[in-house]
Amino acid sequence: MLMSCGIFFQHIETLMCHAGTPLQWTWFNAFHTTPTLPQEQDGLICFCPTEPQTANPDAYHELAEQIRHRHTNRMPYETTTLSAQQQFQLREIFTDAPVRLDIWQNQTSRKQVADLVYQYAALDFADKAAWQETYSFIHFDKNKPVEDGFYLHHLFGKIPAYMAWLFRIGFHPKLNRFTRLLRLPQFMAREFSKLTGQGPQYLALSLPDPNPHNLFVTGMRLAQVWLLLEQWGWGIHPLSVLVQHDLPKTTLANTLGMTHLPIFFARFGQIKIAAEVSPRRHLDSILTID
């Protein structure tokens, strides 16, 4: 959640700067008084406008358009290799940041990641509580507007209507015992690992000290990474199954030789198939203005 807040604020801060109203912000602490906040709620940051500057409407509209078209691309990518210049641009984003960026783009890492995804995705898919949470975010009617989660075609691409119906019924959490007997979780995990094992590149973000401030700043830097990749025509696919719990995080870090536990891990590459539009929250459900 703190990283998501950082991503959101990074976009707001940059847009406001392009609009001619830079923001100055500090981390919220006990010395700040916020009488307008509901009881028992704390703030994350305090920010205010600084001296107005010349607006850049072109940069504003270009960034707004980029953000509008930023969607998670879970499809197969081209095999294009990240160049040295591109690596430099990505690493430059993390200059003087508390977060570390690691990148892998070899066949060994692809095999290692695929094996880990199969191992831990199979456990998640077979676990009733974990699968019930995942299933609740899957939407089966692509014509029905929603604000959270993802549609079935985001996972498997375009599939016939009868396949969507079969998935909706066959993988319902109430049939968890039946699906485990048929080893359907292992089948799903195997297909997922085949996709993730294609890479072609992976990136991880890790923190020596994952405190709230550093997690927030990590989100801000991740927002910059995501938009830079989009400018190149590249996509990014977060593999949250490897960073949601301590055991897969530790195993991933040990397998890939990381110094610290990852807080974000994803495959990325040049887009081969355009991403379908993802659900988006309306601004009114995010911002409260008094």
Give one DSSP letter per residue of 72-138, joined into a string. ---S-B--PPPPHHHHHHHHHTTTT-S-EEEEE-SHHHHHHHHHHHHHHHHHHHH-HHHHHHHHHTE
pLDDT, tens only, 92-103: 999 999 999 999
In the prediction, which pLDDT does 181 show? 76
CA 179/CA 47 separation, integer angstroms: 50
- The pTM of the full predicted model, rounded to 2 decimals, is 0.84
Q: Decide: 141 and 153 in contact? Cβ < 8 Å.
A: no
What percent of the chain is helix, strand and coil (3-state, nearest 5)?
50, 15, 35
More confident residue, 64 or 130: 64
Count other C-beta atoms under 10 Å from residue 268's C-beta: 25
- 3-class DSSP string for 7-38: HHHHHHHHHHHHCCCCEEEEECCCCCCCCCCC
pLDDT, tens only, 168-221: 887 788 887 777 777 777 887 888 898 899 999 999 999 999 998 999 999 999
Question: Average of pLDDT values for 275-286?
Answer: 66
Q: Quick one: what percent of the chain has pLDDT higher than 70? A: 87
Question: Average of pLDDT values for 52-61?
Answer: 94
In the prediction, which pLDDT does 277 show? 65
Q: Decide: 97 and 221 in contact? Cβ < 8 Å.
A: yes
CA 263/CA 206 separation, integer angstroms: 5
CA 164/CA 157 separation, integer angstroms: 11
Count other C-beta atoms under 10 Å from residue 262's C-beta: 23
Strand 150-151 versus strand 45-49 pairing type: unpaired
SS3 49: strand
Instruction: Write the CA distances from 201 to 74, 196, 224, 244, 287, integer angstroms.
Output: 13, 10, 18, 20, 35
pLDDT, tens only, 223-257: 999 999 999 999 999 998 999 889 999 999 999 99
Question: Domains in the chain, ordered, with CATH?
Answer: 1-68 (no CATH), 74-290 (3.40.109.10)
> What is the DSSP track for 230-260?
HHHTEEEEE-GGGTSSHHHHHHHHHHHT-SS
pLDDT, tens only, 66-110: 988 888 888 899 999 999 999 999 999 999 999 999 999 999 999
Q: Does 38 have pLDDT greater than 60?
A: no
In the prediction, which pLDDT does 108 show? 96
CA 171/CA 153 separation, integer angstroms: 15
Question: Average of pLDDT values for 11-32?
Answer: 85
* Tokens encoding 229: 């990749």
